[in-house]
Amino acid sequence: MKKIDSAAQFLTEQMDLFQCPVCRQAFQQVENRSLRCESGHLFDLSKKGTLYFLLKGSKNEYDKEMLTARFQIAQAGLFDPLLDSVYQHIQNKETGHLLDVGCGEGSQLDYLTKLGLKGQKIGFDISKDAIQLAASHFTSAFWCVADLAQSPFATSQYDTILNIFSPSNYQEFERLLKPGGQVLKVVPEKDYLMELRALFYRDQKERQDYSNELVIKKFKEHFSSIETKRVRYQFPLTDDAFKDLMKMTPLSWGASEAAKQYAMEHPLSYITVDVCLLIGSD
């Protein structure tokens, strides 16, 4: 079946998972491969079977080169141990509804699917380039371009919200979750990519440090039941993987050209991944 047809079938069967981002009403039908709400707002499926829900264009800092680098290093396994841990904590893996908020180029949701995650899976990102990459590589989820601030997802429909290295909107999470639903959030810990930070900011000790204290504090304010788990490991880097790492990380935005040049000449043979997994529910 063509990607656009299987996406149309998914929408027909799972229409309850969405709502119109313009008028917030339910969608009524899929007609001619478009999703139509009660007031007549239409959203067309792309050839790749993705939906574009943004009401106005968005700018974000993730360009294609960065997304491709992230895809490649994810395929090489950089995030596997962290995702193994996320997987263990997902509830209702067989039939649950899961929303990956800020899914990027789709690697993380695809990996979780390979581990055995079933049920209905939707990945969305505000970056159109990211969603195009996801849809060209993976059929493990329904992919769409959307904004968490004007979200096209329906109220009380989701068992699990994944929020990996991505901004949160807790009011919106609360609206989307079913009673008893959970948010799984991953944030960097202080040693995350520490070797790369040391390379980029050799002369600026203060920029080598990172604290997630405020992010964790905010998370804890929003849930009555909280579990935290630290996941820390070292990942061996080939030369190619090191180049991808340099391209993918937002850290390189703040590094000077001289610092990037120095880093290219001093490739790392391994990198530390250090994150905090936060599991919240009510």
Contact positions vs Zn ion (CB under 5 A): 20, 22-23, 37, 39, 41
Nearest C-alpha neighbor of 149 from the set 46, 257, 4, 21 = 21
Least spacing, CB of residue 51 vs Zn ion, in Å? 14
Nearest C-alpha neighbor of 112 from the set 162, 180, 40, 152 = 162
Question: Smaller CB distance to Zn ion: residue 41 or 247?
Answer: 41
Q: What is the DSSP letter of 153?
A: B
Least spacing, CB of residue 25 vs Zn ion, in Å? 5
Question: Smaller CB distance to Zn ion: residue 34 or 252?
Answer: 34
Least spacing, CB of residue 26 vs Zn ion, in Å? 9
Least spacing, CB of residue 164 vs Zn ion, in Å? 30
| Residue 30 exposure: Cα atoms within 13 Å on the Cβ side | 19
Residue with nearest beta carbon to Zn ion: 20
Question: Smaller CB distance to Zn ion: residue 20 or 141?
Answer: 20
Least spacing, CB of residue 74 vs Zn ion, in Å? 35
Pairing type for strands 177-188 and 270-281 reads antiparallel
CA dihedral (39, 45, 51, 54) positive or negative:
negative
Written as one string, the DSSP assignment of 24-62 is -PBEEEEETTEEEETT--EEEBPTTS-EE--SS----S-
Question: Smaller CB distance to Zn ion: residue 138 or 153?
Answer: 153
Question: Smaller CB distance to Zn ion: residue 39 or 60?
Answer: 39
Rounded Cα distance, 232 and 249, in Å: 18
